[in-house]
Structure 1
Amino acid sequence: MDFTRDILLENDRALLRPLVAADVDLLQEPAADPELWRYTLTRADSRPELDAYVAAALQGLAQARRYPFVIIDKQTGRVAGSTSYYNVVAEEQRLSIGYTWIGTDFQRTGLNRAAKHLLLRHAFEELGCERVELETDARNHKSQNAMGQMGATEEGTLRSHRPTQGGIRRDTIIFSIIRAEWAALRQSIFGAFDTNRG
């Protein structure tokens, strides 16, 4: 994966483009709900925290450790949130999708699934991945349900996996989608967004 290249991903519902420093202004409104950040590793519901979040994401990009996107809702033209590729292991043909959050106004609208469609399609069909991983805090049942509903398989729990808010170490639940599953998921779970097969 080339971390220096601008990656633009688009379907009928969502546009993903690379995060830039100036996006902090566009992200401030959708990020403002404290509930979005309950189970995340860091918070970004205040401007100083959001500034730090964007800076950390861009530092990860500069170090070729993370590729952050902004998520744009094409129905409204508004920036709705952010998501990233990370843990990219090219020699093993795998990566992770995460650091995903979408403002409250855009939840339960299909936007998150449209964004995942774009990320998965690019990972399997352009980057040559054999495996895509997703992880979430074991306490975040809403996220786990969403991953299951989009066809990801729950693989297990990594105990005391990562430090998180409040000075605790969280348990992380790992989900995955593998290449052998993608064609069927593309037609079923993600079929509504797959009008452009180019």
Structure 2
Amino acid sequence: MGWHTLARAELENEHVLLRPLVADDREALRRIAEEEEFERVFAGLLAGQRAGRSAVFHIADRTSGRSAGTVSFDDLAEADGRVEIGRPWPATAGPGTDVGHWATYLLLEHAFEGLRAQRAGFRTDVLDLRARRELRDIGATEEGVLRSYEPAPGGRRRDAVCFSVLAFEWPEVKRRLAAGPRGRRSKTH
């Protein structure tokens, strides 16, 4: 069984539940999304998943029982032993939030312990200093900037900063993540 199938597992701990995104998640996500182009974004997530380009997860906050967004495995390159973690949507599911912290923990755990990946990568906007700090804080290595990588809201071109965690680094990163999102108030909603 290949990574595209194995990646679509249900992942959970006492904080969050991640399960493969389905069309029925539309209304729960619409209630929390602040996107003007909600239908386009949601359809794009489902299309990427159907095409095998990504494994998109719906995130449920186990504390409140509510939908908290989505996150995905992208660039599933089984032959190369690498995966990319990203596309938190909406931003309340991303780095710097309690939900984002625990979703990142589960995805990295699945990447290294389930899929046996050798590398997990992340890309974030060069202007997103909070996400960059969070990735460094968990032990991810900042590798460089891809200039003018993709379109961003407001008509600008986004420069993407690349980070990674390698398999031999996973035990230390896991220890940091398991310690929790220390000293931050919950920003999940």
What TM-score bracket applies, with the shorter chain setting the length? 0.7 to 0.9
Q: Aligned equivalents of 1:189 and 1:22: distance in 2? A: 31
Report which stretch shifted further, 150-159 or 5-14: 5-14
2:187 aligns to what?
none
Tell me which amino acid in the other structure corresponds to 1:26: A
Q: Residues 20-31 of structure 1 correspond to what in structure 2 (within 5 A)?
A: 20-31=22-33
**Normalized against structure 1, the TM-score is what?**
0.82
Tell me which amino acid in the other structure corresponds to 1:185: V
Measure how far apart 1:134 and its partner are.
0.3
Contact kept in structure 2, 1:113 and 1:190, CA below 8 Å: no
Q: Residue deviations 1:121-172, cap 9 Å, x none?
A: 0000111100000001111112111211222111111112222233332211
Aligned residues: 179
Unaligned ranges ≥5, structure 2 = 182-189
1:167 aligns to what?
155
Contact kept in structure 1, 2:95 and 2:131, CA below 8 Å: no
1:189 aligns to what?
177
**Normalized against structure 2, the TM-score is what?**
0.86
Q: Residues 36-185 of structure 1 correspond to what in structure 2 (within 5 A)?
A: 45-46=35-36, 49-102=37-90, 104=92, 110-185=98-173
Change (3 A) 1:93 1:105: closer
Q: Aligned equivalents of 2:94 and 2:126: distance in 1? A: 24
**What percent of counterpart residues are identical?**
35
RMSD: 2.3
Unaligned ranges ≥5, structure 1 = 33-44, 194-198
Q: Aligned equivalents of 1:7 and 1:104: distance in 2? A: 22
Task: Please give the secondary structure, in 2, of the residue aligned with 1:162.
Answer: strand
